Homo-oligomer: A and B are copies of this chain.
Amino acid sequence: MKIALDVMGGDHAPEAHVEAAIKAVKAFPDLTITLVGNEEEIRPLLPANDPRLPILHTTEKIEDTDQPTTAVRRKKDSSMVLAVREVKEGRADAVISSGNTGALMTAGLLYVGRIQGIDRPALAPMLPTLDEKGFLLLDVGANMDGKPEHLLQYAIMGNTYMEMVRGIKQPRVGLLNVGTEAGKGNELTKAAFPLLEAGPFHFIGNVEARELLNGACDVVVCDGFSGNLVLKSVEGIAGSMFSLLKRELTKTFISKLAVALLKGRFKEIKQVMSYSEYGGASLFGLKAPVIKAHGSSVASSVYHTIAQAYEMVNQQVTTIIKTEVAKATKGSEEKGE
């Protein structure tokens, strides 16, 4: 198996990426990782010439501030575009980047292409829960204005992923909504509810944003705008709460002392709320796994993302999604819907 890794995107590139790749080829004996980036920077980080860690050299880079479509079109030699093209041209089975999310979505759509039967790809990160099992949220922004049938497709894709890659039997699929009762919500969620109810997965109904971190379900579907709001709320509120804790708990001498005693515990708490263990955000609905690792990814998070890509290829997630979507579409066509 071969994975293309863009080693130029993210805050800790290329060190974190190269370190993760070295660890990954040790862990997975049948894996080769193509490191796409500046050879001059990569070479000194590699212990020896390893045929399973080839370098695809380039110096061009898509910046986080670049306008996605323009950048993908113009920066044809960028590490991200080259990495994605490795998949398109059959030299890799999956691609990972920690760079500009919009650009990766554009490049994925343009070069890897959509699975037949999927109208829109969905960006799907794992979010933390208090029981540390996490849940998959999709879409968080690949497609801002979702239609009911898109939400059904998201559910099929998310369900397949959680079952095949995360090993969850009968994942609980929920519809992000403003109340738990059926009939609640906006036009989109009201129309999506019956489609999801009839879908080929374990639909548990509406879930409210306040229950998400408590592990209300395994897969949460929503339009990209709503998902992005929730994703950024989780990030922002958790971050604000940590700032608040820091401010309040260091106000007096006694409290500083007490906090020193709690150092290990606070580390544990940050760990629970961190994303790094869960890997990156998959762009579902494309013909091969395209995965966005968090921009702040350190070596361990990049490693988890590589392991995730490995499992997605190994479990043939893309093929299964294709089959499941075809079945669901055929089913509704036969019913004359």
Contacts and interface: CB of A to CB of B under 8 A. Distances in A.
A268 interface: yes
B261 A255 contact: yes
A214 interface: yes
Interface string A18-36: 0000000000000000000
Contacts of A249: 262, 265
Contacts of A225: 178, 185-186, 189, 226
Contacts of A189: 225
**Counting chain B CB atoms within 10 Å of each CB, which of A186, A241, A268 scores highest?**
A241
Interface string A321-335: 000000000000000
B176 A229 contact: yes
A258 B224 CA distance: 43
A249 B244 CA distance: 16
A228 B237 CA distance: 15
Given A226-B229, A237-B234, A241-B238, A144 B178 contact: yes
Nearest to A146: B186
A130 interface: yes
A307 interface: no
Interface in A159-187: 176, 178, 185-187
Interface stretch (A41-49, A78-86, A203-211, A292-300): A203-211
Contacts of A234: 233, 237
B185 A144 contact: yes
Nearest to A251: B265
A251 B212 CA distance: 24
A55 interface: no
Interface string A214-257: 10000000011110111011111111110111011101101101
Given A237-B238, A248-B269, A141 B210 contact: no
A200 B82 CA distance: 48
A56 interface: no
23 contacts: A130-B243, A130-B244, A144-B178, A144-B185, A145-B186, A178-B225, A178-B229, A185-B225, A186-B224, A213-B237, A213-B240, A229-B233, A230-B233, A238-B241, A241-B241, A244-B269, A248-B265, A249-B262, A249-B265, A254-B261, A255-B262, A255-B265, A258-B261
Given A144-B186, A248-B265, 9 more contacts: A186-B223, A186-B225, A189-B225, A208-B232, A213-B240, A230-B233, A233-B234, A249-B265, A252-B265
Q: Which 7 A-B pairs have the closest CB atoms?
A: A210-B236, A233-B233, A213-B240, A258-B261, A258-B258, A144-B186, A209-B232
